[in-house]
Chains A and B, each alone.
Chain A
Amino acid sequence: MEDKIKVAGGTGLSAQDISSGKIFLTEDSLDCTYAWDTGVAVNRYLEELKKGKIIATRCRKCKRIMLPPRLFCELCFIPCPDWQYVQDSGIVNTYSICYVHWDASRIGKDEKPHLPAVIEIDGAAPGMGIMHILGEVEPQEIKIGMRVKAVWKPEAERSGSITDIKYFKPC
């Protein structure tokens, strides 16, 4: 048969090929930083976080109370000028126990694993969650459906960031 599976190239290198200098490398990194405009909705969100509150927007048409807040409802496609505070508590929709840092390096022996979770916030529309991390809890005790509450940084340390909430703890 003339047409068989066609595979060509893809020459594997070993770590030794590189460490021994057999292969030349050129290193470079991007020298560019970004200062994103937060806009109307997220700016207010951050402003309220700095005050220790979580704010959402409400769509007048579908009635969803949306978190993170947005200037417009992406489904009804209309502006959403109505702001509404929601609670700083919620339930764990799902979670993980993560043993690697963001850059894929392993956590140290004395470090605790990261505990990311999706938390459905009380007062927001059903299923409206945000990603955050859990704290003051043993990893094996975390359950889907568990109730949690925000633990805030002291007011003086808040900067208008999602990290103004240190973590969510069981309540």
Chain B
Amino acid sequence: MRKVAIVGAGMTKFVRRALETPKELSYEAAKITLDSCGLTLEDVECIAHGTAPDAFDGLHQNGEYMVDGCGGWNKPTMRVYVGGGTGIHAVVHGWHHVASGLFDTCLVVCEEKMSSALPHAQAFFLTIFDSITERPLEPNLLWIFALEMNRYMERYGYTKEDMALVAVKNKLNGLKHPASQFTEEVTVEDVVNSEMMAYPVSRLDVSPVSDGAAALLLVSERVARRLTDKPVWIEGVGWSLDTAYWATRDLYYPRYTDTAARMAYEMAGIREPDKEIHIAEPYDPFGYKALHHMEGLQLSPRGKTVQLLHDGHFDIDGNLPMCPSGGLLGVGNPIAAAGTMKVCELFWQLRGEADGRQVPGNPRLGVAQSWGDLMQVSSVVVTGI
């Protein structure tokens, strides 16, 4: 299989409401990514870009509209779309471009501007539900997450305090991230006592609405050797989409994450992920989801994850640091961009460039995962140095 390396990464600050348009956010992330590895747009052969629902932007064919901000003028461009999973899936999509041998350089750009949607970005998620059998019930997006979180907690006897600890830890990590939209620590009490949105989901269990963009440059081995002595290799990719009949599967276990992770591990030659992987960036739009995904990623035994969390196993100096970036809860959640940010984090961590967040002990292998659609898709990327 043709080897593919990440040689550059960059992102905008994540903010509640950005002055920049989606095109401008894309430009900022793309430009700083190229600058970071000393390249110009002329060196880029193709663009693999991503952004989540068009409804946020009020633009039909949003991928076409944003493409010049991504550097796509007169280039092959292709937008990939798996809802919330898009940010990491775009890296898989970029990997396809280079690993296929069709291209040697591919700029991956993901952008999200959620603040344009009125009255609130959440309202646009009504239209993710089945148009005939579910939408007439006027569901809010939070319903499905609350239903899943409740089922997960019930299954293993986890408490709201257990779940709140994820938000506390991730937000603490995020304070050290230069792109984070947060400035304050929170406690378990803050999370549990924050406004109840949809039991068992409280406001601080949820990642925020954000604007932002993130980008990566993927290149073939030949180009990588020329550009840097510290390429970060894409060792494995996997993705899986479960049935759209979401209410017919048991929500306590993310089997789509399980399948996607196994596919990526097989490619990477990983047999014991919980022992071999040094850093995990599971998708954490809600606190419980990070734990749910750690189980699906085979990085934590089912039902034992809360204990490991309490024991500090997932802390930056623990055995398996989880979300050292701060994740979506700690940096922000501009949907597609947030996933790409996680792979940016692996890039910086594995190169030892993560400053105050640096995971000690020269980590060599990391996994990032995103989740989306109707709680049914996972995309997994394994990177190594």
Contact = CB atoms under 8 A, between A and B. Distances in A.
A23 B21 CA distance: 12
A80 interface: no
Contact of B247 (A1, A11, A130): A130
Given A10-B14, A10-B18, A104 B136 contact: no
A102 B353 contact: no
A90 to B, nearest CB: 11
A34 interface: yes
A152 interface: no
A144 B143 contact: no
B361 interface: no
Given A4-B355, A94-B151, A99-B198, A127 B18 contact: no
A105 B151 CA distance: 25
A101 to B, nearest CB: 7
Contacts of B19: 11-13, 23
Q: How large is the interface on B (under 10, 10 to 19, 20 to 34, 35 or more residues)?
A: 35 or more
A44 interface: no
A130 B133 contact: yes
Contact of A131 (B122, B123, B126, B134): B134
Contacts of B29: 8-9
A34 B136 CA distance: 14
A123 B111 CA distance: 46
Interface of A is mostly: loop
B61 interface: no
B20 A132 contact: no
For this complex, into which size category does the number of interface residues on chain A fall?
A: 35 or more
B253 to A, nearest CB: 12
A22 B321 CA distance: 43
B129 to A, nearest CB: 8
Interface string A136-148: 0001000010000
Contact of A5 (B17, B151, B348): B348
B150 to A, nearest CB: 5
Interface string B82-109: 0000000000000000000000000000
Contact of A38 (B119, B132, B211): B132
B146 A3 contact: no
B251 interface: yes
A87 interface: no
Contacts of B196: 97, 99
A30 interface: yes
Contacts of B251: 93-94, 118
A84 interface: no
Pick from B150, B154, B195 the residue with the most CB of A within 10 Å: B150
A101 B12 contact: no
21 contacts: A7-B178, A9-B29, A10-B28, A10-B179, A18-B17, A42-B133, A67-B248, A68-B245, A96-B142, A96-B200, A101-B138, A102-B126, A103-B126, A104-B119, A117-B147, A129-B247, A130-B133, A133-B137, A144-B150, A162-B133, A162-B134
Given A94-B147, A98-B140, A162-B134, 17 more contacts: A5-B355, A9-B29, A10-B12, A10-B28, A11-B18, A12-B16, A13-B19, A74-B245, A96-B147, A96-B150, A97-B196, A100-B140, A101-B138, A102-B138, A105-B119, A117-B147, A131-B134
